[in-house]
Amino acid sequence: MRTERDAAPAGPGKLVVDAAVTTRGVDVHLTVAPGEVVAVLGANGAGKSTLLSLVSGSARPDHGRITLDGRPLVDTATGTWVPPHERGVVLLAQQALLFPHMTAVANVAFGPRSRGASRREAQETALSWLAAVDATEFAERRPHQLSGGQAQRVAIARALAAEPVLLLLDEPMAALDVAVAPALRQLLRSVLRGTGRTALFVTHDLVDALSLADRVVVMEDGRIVEDGPARTVLAQPRSSFAARIAGIDLIPGVVTEDGLVTTDGLRVHGQVAVGATIGEAGVAVFRPAAVAVHLTVPTGSPRNHFPVVISELEPRGEIVRVRSQDDRSGGTGGLVADITAASAADLELVPGKRVHFAVKATEVAVHAAASQP
Amino acid sequence: MQPVVTRKEYVTGTAPSTPSAGRTRSPATGQGSGLPRWVFAPAFLGGAFIVLPLVAMLVRVRWADFWGLITSESSLAALELSLRTCAASTVLCVLFGTPMALVLARSSFPGLRFLRSLVLLPLVLPPVVGGIALLYTFGRQGLLGHTFQVLGIRIAFSTAAVVLAQTFVALPFLVLSLEGTLRTAGRRYEAVAAGLGANPTTVLRRVTIPLVLPGLFSAAILAFARALGEFGATLTFAGSLQGVTRTLPLEIYLQRESDADAAVALSLVLVVVAVVVIGLARGRSGEGAL
């Protein structure tokens, strides 16, 4: 069943949102292409959850229109309103919210049953989805006998068994143990990336956005202020929110055994995170504060060093942010180093100067990326 | 707010064993409760006020004649009638009260709050007044009485009237209790179910009702208990005909005039039934469900 879906090209699921909720100061214009996975980032109260509520049908816009595959879900101009159960939109929330009076398999069978499948068909569908999320052993358990991660697995199976045209995710991993999050992220990745399913997900987590999304939109004060490929938005943030959560160094490439190799053939050494597969798209991530600046090729423990040309120096109190020239190659251009003002003075750094950025391999994390560089 | 208080008062009134049971279960109440010591004195007095009359009644029971008194023809007829009518009115309460609670807890329309206070009126209305009101609705001269007469149905002073009177006073108890349960349960699971494609009827049948089932059970028990004790409305609207409308409370009131021993014996039966009912409700849905 899943292999059929895997093979299918981008199917249905084109979402167009043009809706406003004036009382909450939300005014969103967003188009999601069929099969596209879009991450919604933003501070608390920026309107991310309102956006999901509008699409799922738990909130009504004051004015505007939302269509899914051309079918209006809500249109205030014509008074159209499609109730939540007829939308084909499933929301996966922070809490698994499994029905406590049903076993895991009955929970997963709920969607198919509600759509008219016979008891037996629904049971079979449910079991195959439980197998797909590696939760077959929990089939007969009640939700209170499951851990948070196990429950969320079952919730994912339940959401997918309902065959949504559009999947909404509201920080599905935020309530989970740090220890179980990577495995679940991997599962979500295979679910979202492998099946050509359209999805809109709200997250606070940079790694989620990088590894799951084709595109990132950033919301501020109820409006979308940034919209673009995940790496562009996160590496060159224009909005203050993106800058605050991002403000990191990113190098895209292909995952290797001990790091990543860029399209230019540059090797980056780092810690390969769970979920990143050798030979597939990845991104090396490190903090600007972990970067040291050298005038000559550094020797010693740092295994990574990149020759760069300084483009600007931004004093930030005690710290100076050294920005390198962006060659737009998608490689090491545009990297940033945070060093003390004293070091910057000692090294006599000026724009145009050629230097080396060095970073220890232990400071570099290599994550799976949503698309090939 | 107000009806909740009423409900608590009611529970204390029908669950005389509660304070003493609570004390035996946690003997260390005085230690570390964070309460000032003097609070225990009035609390103890209040508890004694509830328990003492029951003890007094128990002392007054003439055990030698007890069995004979409660198995007399009139007693058995009253007991049987009480159980039958209470079962019927509880069913009616569940059938109509559940939708009422759903509407009150889940919908919103203008005038809902006003409607809510109207529905809960029987809680604060003296039952005799309820009986009069029912009489002028279903009686021969009543609002609907003529309609029923044409259909050949006579309600007032029949067993049906007993059931109606009991339903009238017990319905708000079920509605109020269940509405609270529904509000506490919240709508999150219902929203999830709708998202998975379940239509409103499926959501109600497979999610809402199963989730509040324990609450519905204790609400029904509450309604049953209230119906069992119903006196004023029954006497006014249904009268006191042996085997037809004379329920246990009416029988007790009647016997008190002629045979006090029988009245005490029958009262004890009602106390036992009440204790069993409360025990059932508690056993099913845990401490403090009522």
pLDDT digits over A85-130, tens only? 999 999 998 889 999 999 999 999 999 999 889 999 999 999 999 9
pLDDT at A168 over 80: yes
pLDDT score of A329: 53
Any B CB within 8 A of A152 CB? no
Average pLDDT over residues A192-197: 76
Q: Which of the residues B192, B216, B217 would you substitute to probe the A interface, choosing the one with the greatest number of A C-beta atoms within 10 Å? A: B192
Contact B193 A159 (CB under 8 A): no
Contact yes or no for A90 and B196 at CB 8 A: yes
pLDDT level of residue A247 (50, 70, 90 thresholds): low
Residues of B in contact with A73 (CB under 8 A): none
pLDDT band at A5 (very low <50, low <70, confident <90, very high): very low
Residue A195, pLDDT > 80, answer: no
Interface touch A114/B200, C-beta < 8 Å: no
Q: Between these two residues, A179 and A266, which has the higher pLDDT value?
A: A266
Q: Where are the domains of chain A?
A: 2-245, 249-368
Give yes or no for B191 touching A (CB within 8 A): yes
CB B225 within 8 A of CB B277: yes
Q: Residue B201: closest CA among chain A residues belongs to which residue?
A: A114
What residue ranges define each of the domains in chain B, with the CATH number in brackets? 2-12+65-285 (1.10.3720.10)
Predicted pLDDT of residue B14: 39
Local confidence band at A245 (pLDDT 50, 70, 90 cut-offs):
low
With a cut of 70, which residues of chain B have pLDDT below it? 1-32, 283-290
Stretch among A194-203, A289-298, B276-285 having the lowest mean pLDDT: B276-285
Distance from CA of B175 to the nearest CA of A (A): 23
A121-150: average pLDDT: 92
Set of chain A residues whose Cβ sits within 8 Å of the Cβ of B191: 58, 84, 91
**Which residue in B189, B191, B200 is closest to A58 by CB distance?**
B191
Per-residue pLDDT tens for A217-228?
Answer: 988 888 998 888
Q: How many other CB atoms sit within 10 Å of the CB of residue A112?
A: 24
Interface predicted TM-score (ipTM) of this complex, two decimals: 0.73
| A101·B211 Cβ contact <8 A | yes
pLDDT value of position A4 = 37
Inform me whether the C-beta atom of residue B205 falls under 8 Å from chain A C-beta atoms. no
What superfamily does domain A2-245 belong to in CATH?
A: P-loop containing nucleotide triphosphate hydrolases (3.40.50.300)
Cβ–Cβ below 8 Å for B198 and A100? no
pLDDT recorded at residue A176: 75
**How does pLDDT run across A19-57, given as a tens digit for each residue?**
999 888 899 999 999 989 999 988 778 889 899 999 999
Query: Is-contact A49 A162, C-beta < 8 A?
Result: no
Enumerate helices (H) and strands (E) in chain A, giving the number of each: 10, 22
Chain B residues whose CB is inside 8 A of the A159 CB are 196
- Determine the residue of chain B that is closest to A107 in CA distance: B193
Label each residue of B48-76 as H, E or C. HHHHHHHHHHHHHCCHHHHHHHHCCHHHH
Q: Is the CB of A49 inside 8 Å of chain B's CB atoms?
A: no
Which residues of A fall within a CB distance of 8 Å from B209?
none
Hey, is the C-beta of B196 within 8 angstroms of any chain A C-beta? yes
pLDDT band at A190 (very low <50, low <70, confident <90, very high): confident
CA distance A113 to chain B (A): 8
Whether B52 contacts chain A with CB within 8 A: no
Domain A249-368 - what CATH class?
mainly beta
Cα nearest neighbour of B191 on chain A? A58
On whether any CB of chain B is under 8 Å from the CB of A58, the answer is: yes
CB nearest to A90's CB, from B188, B195, B207 = B195
Q: Are A12 and A165 in contact (CB under 8 A)?
A: yes
CB-based contacts of B10-18 (< 8 A; 24+ apart in sequence): B10/B173, B10/B226, B11/B278, B11/B290, B12/B50, B14/B225, B14/B229, B14/B274, B14/B277, B14/B278, B15/B274, B15/B275, B15/B278, B15/B290, B16/B50, B16/B51, B16/B54, B16/B271, B16/B274, B16/B275, B17/B275, B17/B278, B18/B278
| Residue B27, helix vs strand vs coil | coil
Q: Do B195 and A89 touch (CB under 8 A)?
A: yes
Phi-psi region at A187: left, alpha or beta (left = phi > 0; alpha = psi -120 to 50):
alpha
pLDDT value for A21:
92
**CB B197 to CB A58 under 8 A?**
no
Which chain B residues are within 8 Å of A95, Cβ to Cβ?
188
When the pLDDT of each residue in chain A is averaged and rounded to a whole number, the result is 84
